[in-house]
Chain A
Amino acid sequence: MPPRIHNQRVTNTLLPYLSSTSTTASSPSISRLPSTSTAPNGSSRPFSTTPAPQSRKWRTDMFQWLAKEGSELKSHVPGRTNYLTRLKERRARGEEGANSKAALTHPFPLNPYFSAENILSEELRNEIHARVTGRNKKSVRAVSVELGVDMRRVAAVVRLVELEKRMKSQNKQLALPYARAVHEMVPTTPLHKENRRAHESINDLPVHKLTNAQIFHPIPESRHFTRADAGRVFSAAPAQDLATAAATAADPTAAVDRATQQPGRIERVGKGEFETQVLQPAEARIPHPHLVALERYRLAHSEEPRESNKYYRTRLLEQERLEGEQRAQAAAREEQSTNKVAPAASRFEFRFRDVEFSEETVGHDGRGSIAPGRRYGVPSEDRKKGQVKIPTSVVV
């Protein structure tokens, strides 16, 4: 039941007496309490013992701030950020503070650990699109390394620029004033023709959930324990034999190439549903493993920069060729296993795909997770809290 609120004035004969005692009482602790602050006689709530709401004061303060100090933020200077931190820095350190780096990069004055990242400038974004789709096409991977932009961002830029072109060709209205204003107010990475400047770190190692475990794994001092061994420990795989370990140590680039070029051949551990690939070393899991190979080559052949460039380009082309081949194979496999039927009497195309109902897929109790169809006796969690149904990542 909601609380009943009486709006009429309280007319208790005892109350004047109580209020008179509270005003005459010389106790400083009581007079300091906000609840006993005596309102002037004209107030709308003379007998209320609840503390006066602060919101009115806060609102007044806000409008005062907006009229005086905050009015500076009302319009921005093109090419410079318009963050609240500037006002705080100026108050603390004067004009020098207002032009400091923190004032230009930190939008939230109370959170010094957050600094806003640059966004792509219009020229850089157009350059990315031109390099990926232009006359001498380059792969997303190559453009990512050239311009220092993450591969996922490169792919997103290409998609969005295509979308923009399509909207233009359809004479749809673009939110250009908005885009212009945003580009004026946030830091952007310009396109440098000569001195290349990276937009962001492109070779970040994604955190694999297997590596979150803290494992105490004693090994003899005499043993050579590498990142590959650590990956095997994390995924609870048996230690590799000495001959394989020696071969890997002799040619680490080849070992990484095996993992990146034939991901289907990576060793698997675990049984049934829990079967997973053995965790690969960090140099195989980063987005651009070929950069590590290039660096190794450079160190080995430091006096031949031209040769190392050639080495890099050949490897990149080889990698692209292999990726293209694998894509084509996957598409052919898909095509072969799919029977496409387009009946004349229907608007739709029916795609028949093969599945398998067997002991292996369904399991002995009929509840296997790779069985065809929706599962019986397993609650659907799609209405539960925290289920994310929109795509959260971009597949490049």
Chain B
Amino acid sequence: MVLRIRLARFGNKHQPFYNIVVAQARSARGNKPLEVIGTYDPVPKTNNNVHDESASARPVKDVTLDQSRTKYWLGVGAQPSDSVWKLLSLGGLMKPKQKN
């Protein structure tokens, strides 16, 4: 069976929040995964603190990731879903997916 690295939705209505999980490809989204290797918060946060000079000009999206576990699962053949592929390529763990 194929292992997938994919997103599992948490959060409430209009407040999505995702766990980045390693799970069997044919299991349901809400099932208990093999591992939770990170999170992805798709709601961008703007910094309103005028005193914070280090604040980013762009709205920020937070991703947490266990790099070593991700590399391990990719090494044993786990397939990232498209959205996770994008995140992993941003994080420098994979090459961006070729568009056909």
Contacts and interface: CB of A to CB of B under 8 A. Distances in A.
Interface of A: 162, 166, 331, 339-343, 347-357, 362, 366, 371-374, 376-377, 382-383
Contact of A372 (B17, B37, B92): B37
A208 B73 CA distance: 45
Contacts of B66: 354-357, 372
Interface of B: 10-12, 17, 19-21, 32-33, 35-39, 44, 50-51, 54, 56, 58-67, 69, 87, 90-92
Contact of A343 (B37, B39, B90): B90
B69 A353 contact: no
A380 to B, nearest CB: 8
A357 B38 CA distance: 8
The 6 A-B pairs at the shortest CB distance, nearest first, are namely: A373-B19, A373-B36, A374-B10, A349-B58, A355-B64, A357-B66
A341 B91 contact: yes
Contacts of B59: 347-349
29 contacts: A162-B50, A339-B91, A341-B91, A348-B60, A349-B56, A350-B61, A350-B87, A351-B63, A352-B65, A352-B91, A353-B62, A353-B64, A353-B65, A354-B65, A355-B38, A355-B64, A355-B65, A356-B66, A357-B36, A357-B69, A362-B36, A371-B36, A372-B19, A372-B38, A373-B19, A373-B38, A374-B17, A374-B19, A376-B33
A353 B58 contact: no
A357 B10 contact: no
Contacts of A342: 56, 58
A371 B20 CA distance: 13
Nearest to A356: B66
Given A341-B90, A374-B17, A374-B39, A354 B64 contact: yes
A216 B50 CA distance: 51
A350 B39 CA distance: 12
Interface of A (DSSP majority class): loop
Given A349-B61, A372-B19, 12 more contacts: A166-B50, A340-B56, A341-B91, A347-B59, A348-B59, A349-B58, A354-B64, A357-B69, A372-B38, A374-B17, A374-B19, A383-B12
A352 B32 contact: no
Contacts of B60: 348-351
A340 B92 CA distance: 11
A377 B32 CA distance: 9
A350 B58 CA distance: 9
Contacts of A343: 90
B68 to A, nearest CB: 8
Nearest to B87: A350
A331 B55 CA distance: 12
A348 B69 CA distance: 26
Contacts of B64: 352-355, 372-373
A9 B52 CA distance: 74
Nearest to B56: A349
Given A341-B90, A357-B69, A348 B61 contact: yes
Contacts of A341: 90-92
A316 to B, nearest CB: 22
Contacts of B33: 376
Contacts of B54: 331
A367 to B, nearest CB: 10
Contacts of B12: 382-383
A366 B11 CA distance: 20
A357 B37 contact: yes
Contacts of B63: 350-353
Contacts of A373: 10, 19-21, 36, 38-39, 64
A351 to B, nearest CB: 5
A273 B66 CA distance: 21
A372 B37 CA distance: 7
Contacts of A351: 60-63
Contacts of A377: 32
A231 to B, nearest CB: 35
Contacts of A355: 38-39, 64-66
B56 A162 contact: no
Contacts of B11: 374
Contacts of A352: 63-65, 90-91
